[in-house]
A = this chain, B = another copy of it.
Amino acid sequence: MIYENTTIFDFETTGLDPSYDKIIELALIRIRNGKVVGTLNYLINPETVIPHNITDITGITNDDVCNCPTIKQLLPWMMAIIGDSLLVAHNALFDLTFLDVANQKYRGKSVNNSFIDTRAICIDRFPYESHRLELMCNKYQIRLDGAHRALNDVSATWELLQKLDQEKTVEDYLNKIYYFKKHGVPNWMPEHARIVGL
């Protein structure tokens, strides 16, 4: 079921606050019946300055994005590609929130797709470790060249999903979000999310 009609996606952004920060790169891999049928990867002009620390992490500079399309221009294509597919991301609430903010702003509607958060699965299976994508990939011998570039991250997340599912089915994680109580309840979550405080 989880491979039938699925999109793995990732954003790089100017910061952590979806109500203030902007998307600077998107990447997605489109899956049909377990096979990759499409990929889209684009740098995005945030129409604001990219902070130095974000350039250090992502390698994306202001010069790189100055001639690139805006999220307003790319969002209709991105959503046409996504359609009603299952969305998968590592730390999905982060990417879902940015996606929802953009959809509210430019299309006047929320994102209602079902989703799976690969990080939630990792939290259950390795409760006493850091669940960063790089570390989880390392554990499963998944190659991740250049983390924090969106297409590398989604390719790795797609492999991670399959390895986690081979180990033990991940279907129980449909629409499940974990949050750490010490960090407080998230400001936003999808209406159909099943949220679990840890």
Contacts and interface: CB of A to CB of B under 8 A. Distances in A.
A89 interface: no
A158 to B, nearest CB: 14
Contacts of A64: 32, 35, 37
Nearest to A66: B32
B37 A40 contact: no
B151 A68 contact: no
A43 interface: yes
Q: In the complex, which of the residues A33, A38, A65, A80 has the most CB atoms of chain B within 10 Å of its own CB atom?
A: A38
A37 B151 contact: no
Interface residues of A, number: 20
Nearest to A26: B38
Contact of A68 (B32, B39, B40): B32
A63 interface: yes
Contacts of A63: 33
Contacts of A68: 32, 37-38
9 contacts: A32-B64, A32-B67, A37-B65, A37-B67, A38-B41, A38-B43, A38-B68, A39-B42, A77-B77
A43 B37 contact: yes
A37 B32 contact: no
A29 to B, nearest CB: 10
B37 A39 contact: no
A177 to B, nearest CB: 29
A43 B37 CA distance: 5
A30 B42 CA distance: 9
B42 A38 contact: yes
Given A32-B67, A68-B32, A39 B38 contact: no
A151 B39 contact: yes
Nearest to A63: B33
A152 to B, nearest CB: 12
Q: In the complex, which of the residues A5, A30, A151 has the most CB atoms of chain B within 10 Å of its own CB atom?
A: A30
